[in-house]
Amino acid sequence: MGDALARRCRWIAPSYTLSMGNSTAADRDRTVTVGFSIAEADRPRLDHLVDVFAGGNRSAFLRLAMGRMEVADRAQRLRSIQAYGAQRSQELGIAPDESSERVKRVLARRART
């Protein structure tokens, strides 16, 4: 999660029970209580989102939010990798429209070996 987003995400709750890692039904039997807080003014927003997305279950909402933040993190890392690839391609004189063909040739060579 980016620093700006992290600063904006000041969650409220005296404590939540959450499963660690990628939770399954069995994992939810092994939980820890984690306390954190957000501004009092944000409490109605949290309550609304918990109701809409998790049927009022704060733990389920937190697991869902964690999953979505992991997706956002992977997308950001992919954008960084793509930017690096574009920069390296430019440095090597590879035009953007050539990239797909080069990738296909490399994959075809690997498939034969």
Expressed as residue numbers, the domain containing 69 is 3-112
> What whole-number percentage of the chain has pLDDT above 70?
75
Q: For the whole model, what pTM was predicted?
A: 0.61
Contact criterion met (CB below 8 Å) for 61 and 54 = yes
Rounded CA-CA distance 9/93 in Å is: 42
Q: How many domains does the chain have?
A: 1
- Do the beta carbons of residue 14 and residue 35 sit within 8 Å? yes
DSSP class of 55: T
- d(C-alpha 37, C-alpha 46), whole Å: 11
pLDDT at residue 79 in the model = 97
What is the per-residue pLDDT across 21-71, written as a single tens digit (0 to 9) for each?
Answer: 556 666 667 888 888 899 999 999 999 999 999 999 999 999 999 999 999
